[in-house]
Chains A and B, each alone.
Chain A
Amino acid sequence: MVDVSADKPALHPGGTQRSAGISTPVSHDLPAAGSRPLTPAVGRDLRLDLFRGIALWLIFLDHIPSNIVSWITIRNYGFSDATEIFVFISGYTAAFVYGRAMRERGVVVASARILKRAWQVYVAHIFLFVIYLAEIAYVSRNFENPLYAEEMGIFDFLRQPDVTLYEALLLKFKPANMDVLPLYIVLLAAFPVYLWALLRSPMLALAGSLVVYVSALWFDINLPAYPEGTWTFNPFAWQLLFGFGAWCAIGGAQRLAGFMRSPVVLGLAAAYLLFALAIVMTWYFPRYSYLVPKWLSDWIYPIDKTNLDVLRFVHFLALAVLTVRFVARDWPVLKSPSLRPAILCGQHSLEIFCLGVFLAFAAHFIMVQVSEAVWAQVLASAIGIALMVAVAWLLSWYKNIEGRSPGSRPPDADLAGGEA
């Protein structure tokens, strides 16, 4: 990571960029065929960083239980939520960074880097799991109330630490709000094969991804979970979004450009978003739910998050269409200091994601100890986001000095692994 400051693209002309050190895509103006090397950098697509950063904030806000500030997050106004944004952009950046590596250094090197990244995410997940265990162990020793005899059942996991730890290491036991990283691990682990196919035939690879999605729904395929059931985010379903993001990075976005700008598509996207908004409003005002015809509610419900319901996927696509239309790639505000905090967070997604999960735990823990009043919820949310930004800034600074000092680690050992 030579340079993270977006406003100084001249410091890293395309030719000197190292695949392992790029924290975000620099350009996606590629030919669709994908056989030519990537065009030199003309400047980052800061929109990806921006929206991933915002998605990380929203995920943090949603993870604090009973948080009034989570009222502002997009899940309250439509079918999809920040998870979709995060998974799509992660797929996009993964293909961008490792696609370049696969072309320049070959399949083996690129695959090794992807798997190394998957391993880093795994370690990060286990680290968060340890924090979770510490919290429930503390609460189990310090909280007792006959009213909540039932809820104390969560501490049963502590009675069999061997089984719990073993199942957690196998990614079968996943506490509440800790499902995204295991999904990401599986998606990355399978990514070398998909990327290889994507570089040869983008359309065929995407079709394959679609076939896996449809099969997962049709045959009810999912990974097993502990103590029972299956994964909360079915990787066989969610890979479609990751795969679609990757496809867009490899040239799909170019192909879709005309389609995305068509007024008909824009109109449909806007109409769909309004439809979703209207449906979601009936969840808050159940007395108006009779306005939704029975045939329609029978058809749309339940909106299945586990298997990335088509309604959610389309909702994300509609959001993306409008975003791409109204937030131009060269929008000057993207380089303004006001958006810098979100962009910084988006550029260090793994670290900031983990931090967000931890901070959500911590915020809830402190709120329970001190106050659960509205001001405490607002304050905890604000402090949490400020800490996320501060740590993102620190990481950028650290990478900067690491990258510049002579004799520092070779580029390929860069821990960022491309920040895919």
Chain B
Amino acid sequence: MRAFIVALIGAVLSISNATAHDGSDCAVAAHLVTADFPLPRVAAAIANKQLDIVVVGSASSLLTAPNGTPEAYPVRLEAALSKRLPGVKVKVTTYAKPRTTADAMEKEIERAVATDKPALVIWQTGTVDAIRRVDPEVFRTAIEEGMDAVAAAKIDLVLMNPQYSPRTESMIGVPPYADAMRLIALQHEVPLFDRFAVMRQWGETGTFDLIEATKKMDTAERVHQCIAELLADLIVQAAKLTGPNARGNIK
């Protein structure tokens, strides 16, 4: 609801810093993706022409075609960033396991930052916590500890909150977890990819049919492609922000 109000008001006031997606219908949600905080290590990595990214997440960061090809947004992000950053070697590594809570992923993050030493960690979490109804305090603490580990390793972080799933909405109480992540991101001045708000916008504007029961991959692939495009925009925008506090740069 909260996200919807934001979306509604955003639409009314025509506040939109959408990067042009010519012909791409997923841009209807672009105003929900704003780079509020900078990513200095990403900026440095871009300058050095080598951008390594690690995605830590659960099953919604995995989408495997029947023939085994990975189709999820991380692979597409690599392509989307390469397109936006010509001459920069972009590498995206995914550590995603189904059924992992934020608490379990936090350990994965500590390991990943130590071995891979990326410039950026994208941490997607919240859905499994919502399904298992993890204590909000435990959820929050896990994320903050993971953030501390990433910050201590001098690595940038982008948080990604749960998917919007209309069909299971009355069974899985996702909004408190999505909201908690918004608040944590704001408090710790870390960019958030508000996947929940973005997908809800797509559902409400009819960009994608998120209710359809299907075994086919096409909608899922297009959704992941759009997530990758908007996420790439967010990363590039945030890398351009300079200074310790970039609030003044929000347009």
Instruction: Give me the interface of A with B, judged by CB distance under 8 Å.
Output: 63-68, 70-71, 76, 132, 135-136, 139, 142-154, 174-177, 225, 227-230, 232, 283-287, 289-290, 297, 301-302, 304-306, 360-361, 364-365, 368, 372
Choose one: B1, B127, B137, B216; the contact of A151 (CB below 8 Å).
Answer: B127
Q: Which residues of A contact B4 (CB under 8 A)?
A: 66, 68
Choose one: A63, A144, A176, A228; the contact of B171 (CB below 8 Å).
Answer: A176
The yes or no answer to B151 lying at the interface (CB within 8 A) is no
B186 pairs with A66, CB closer than 8 A: no
Q: Which residue of B lies closest to A367 (CB)?
A: B166
The yes or no answer to B165 lying at the interface (CB within 8 A) is yes
Interface string of B39-76 (1 = CB under 8 A from A): 00000000000000000001110110000000000000
Q: Which residue of A lies closest to B134 (CB)?
A: A229
A301 to B186, CA, bound (A): 12
The yes or no answer to B140 lying at the interface (CB within 8 A) is yes
Q: Known interface pairs A66-B4, A301-B187. Does A148 touch B168 (Cβ–Cβ under 8 Å)?
A: yes
B1 pairs with A66, CB closer than 8 A: yes
B138 pairs with A70, CB closer than 8 A: no
Q: Which residues of A contact B204 (CB under 8 A)?
A: 372
Sorting the interface of chain B by its residue count into under 10, 10 to 19, 20 to 34 or 35 or more gives: 35 or more
A176 pairs with B133, CB closer than 8 A: yes
Sample of 16 further A-B pairs with CB below 8 A, known A148-B167, A174-B133: A66-B166, A146-B217, A148-B168, A176-B133, A225-B133, A283-B2, A285-B6, A285-B9, A286-B36, A287-B250, A297-B187, A301-B183, A365-B170, A372-B166, A372-B203, A372-B204
B61 CB to closest chain A CB (Å) equals 9
Selected A-B contacts with CB under 8 Å, 14 pairs: A65-B175, A67-B1, A149-B59, A149-B98, A151-B131, A151-B167, A151-B168, A229-B132, A283-B183, A284-B2, A285-B6, A285-B9, A286-B6, A306-B135
A223 CB to closest chain B CB (Å) equals 12
A364 pairs with B169, CB closer than 8 A: yes
The yes or no answer to B223 lying at the interface (CB within 8 A) is yes
The yes or no answer to B213 lying at the interface (CB within 8 A) is yes
B96 CB to closest chain A CB (Å) equals 10
B25 CB to closest chain A CB (Å) equals 16
Interface positions of B from 170 to 229, Cβ below 8 Å from A: 170-173, 175, 179-180, 182-183, 186-187, 200, 203-204, 210-217, 219-220, 223
B211 pairs with A368, CB closer than 8 A: yes
Q: Which residue of A lies closest to B124 (CB)?
A: A150
Interface positions of B from 236 to 251, Cβ below 8 Å from A: 247, 250
Looking at A64, A144, A151, A153, the one whose CB has the most chain B CB atoms below 10 A away is A151
The yes or no answer to B87 lying at the interface (CB within 8 A) is no
A148 to B59, CA, bound (A): 9
Choose one: A147, A174, A227, A286; the contact of B210 (CB below 8 Å).
Answer: A147
Q: Which residues of B contact A150 (CB under 8 A)?
A: 58-60, 98, 127-128, 163
B36 pairs with A146, CB closer than 8 A: no
A360 pairs with B170, CB closer than 8 A: yes
Q: Which residues of B contact A135 (CB under 8 A)?
A: 170-171
Q: Known interface pairs A176-B173, A306-B137. Does A284 touch B9 (Cβ–Cβ under 8 Å)?
A: yes
The yes or no answer to B99 lying at the interface (CB within 8 A) is yes
